[in-house]
Amino acid sequence: MPTITDAAALPTPLGGTLVRRLWQPGQDFDPAELRHLPALELGERAFADLEMIATGAYSPLQGFVNEADYLSIIEHLRLADGTPWSLPITLPVSHDEAQRLHGRVLLTHAGETVGTLDITEKYPARKVLEAREVYRTEDEAHPGVAALYAQGAVNLAGPVTLFAVPRGAFPAQHRTPAEVRQVIEARGWRSTVAFQTRNPIHRAHEYLHKVALELVDGLLLHPLVGHTKGDDVPADIRMEAYETLLGHYYPQERTLLSVYPAAMRYAGPREAVVHALSRRNYGATHFIVGRDHAGVGSYYGTYDAQDIFSAFTPEELGIRILKFEHTFYCQSCHQMVSPRTCPHDAGHHLVLSGTKVREKLRAGEHLPPEFTRPQVAEVLRRGYQRP
C-alpha cells in the first residue's frame, strides 16, 4: 500500500508516478509551428479535462481514454489494466469531425490554441450504457445525462499535451498537483485531509473539517471551480466566502485553500471515487465523503457515495476515506451534531436546503448564525444582491 503517514514521503500518485503532459521548450515540436494542423475547439468540460490530465490530477491517464478503458470503466469501475477509475474521461465529437481529424490535432478553447491531441483511436460512444451505469439513470432531467446525450457520438482517444496551465480567475490559489505537493512538503504535514466542495461552506462543513483536523496535520480546502450547473453559487462568490471563513475561524498554518479546476458531472458515487483518487494525486492522505457527495436531485441514496468505496481495497485506493453522516445545528444541544451524537428529533434541528438558502439570499435576508458564520453570510448576501 502507498505510504500515507511516513514523514519522508507523500502518497504515491495513482499508477506510481505523477503524469506530466505539459509542453516544455526543447520538446519535439514548437506550438508556433503547429498552425497547419487541423483544429478542434474544446468546450468547458473538455478543456477542464485536458488540464486535469496534463497536470497529473487524473494520473495515470495520459490522455482521453481508449475504447478498452472506456468500457472497463463503465462496467467494472477500473481501467483495462485493473487500476481503480470510475468516470470515463472522453473527448466526444460528431461523425463529421471524426472523419476530418487524424493524427496530431491542435486543441483550441475560446479561440486560443491550448494543446494537442495525438489521435490513436476513434470509437462509438455508448451513451445509453454510460448513462445507465455511470449516472444510474437515463433521465435527461439529470444534468450529467443531458450533457452526455447532447455531445458527439464518436470518442477520440490518445495522449494530450497542454501548452500552459490556465490559472484562470484565481491565479493565487490555482496550483497543479505538483505545486500542492510542494506546499504540503514545505509545511511538514505528514497527513493531509482534502475536502471537495462546490457550495459555500456552512457550519456543518466547518464541523467536518475541524473533526478531521483533530486527526491529521493539515486541511486542503479544495473547491471545484470548473463548469457547474446554472443555479450553483458562482465561483467568485464562493472563493470570497472561503477566504473570509479561513481568515476568521481556521488556523492558518494548518489550512491550504487551492482550487480544483475539474468540471462537475453530478455522477454521485462514481464522481466521489474520482474526487478521492485525484486528491491522492494532489498529495492528500485522507478524503472526506459526506452526505450525497457529488449528487443532484434525488438520483442517489444519501450514503451511496460512501458505500461505493467498498468496491476497492484500501491498498488500491491509497487514500483513507473519512465517512461522515449528516450534520446540523441542534437548538437543544446548542452545538453542531450528527444523528450519532444528538438525542433530539428533527423538530430541534436547524436544517436549510440549498433552495431555501438561495431564496433568502435573493430576498436580501440574513442567514442564521447557527447555519453559517455571519461574515460568510454577508459575503453571500452581497454576492446575490449584485446586478
Residues 328 and 339: beta-carbon distance below 8 Å = no
Place of cell 476530418: 100
Q: ∠372-219-296 over CA atoms, to 5°?
A: 55
**100 a catalytic residue:** no
Is residue 155 part of the annotated active site? The answer reads no
> ∠ CA(369), CA(364), CA(257), 5° rounding?
55
Question: Could you tell me which of 37, 28, 162 has the C-alpha nearest to residue 106?
Answer: 37
Q: Is 96 exposed, middle or buried (0-12, 13-18, 19+ CB in 10 A)?
A: exposed
Kindly name the residue from 167, 190, 199, 291 that is annotated as catalytic.
Answer: 199
- DSSP-assigned beta bridge partners for residue 94: none
As a whole number of angstroms, the distance between CA 267 and CA 299 comes to: 9
**Nearest residue to 376 (alpha-carbon basis) of 173, 199, 202, 170:** 202
d(CA 325, CA 334): 19
Euclidean distance between CA atoms 381 and 360, whole angstroms: 8
φ/ψ of 132, rounded to 5, equals -65, -40
Among the listed residues 45, 198, 280, 320, the single catalytic one is: 198
| 118: alpha, beta or left? (left if phi > 0; alpha if psi -120 to 50) | beta
Q: To 5 degrees, how large is the angle CA 305–CA 307–CA 310?
A: 125
8 A C-beta contact, residue 143 and residue 136: no
* Distance separating alpha carbons of residues 153 and 258, to the nearest angstrom: 35
Radius of gyration of the chain (CA): 21
Looking at the annotation, which residues are catalytic? 198-199
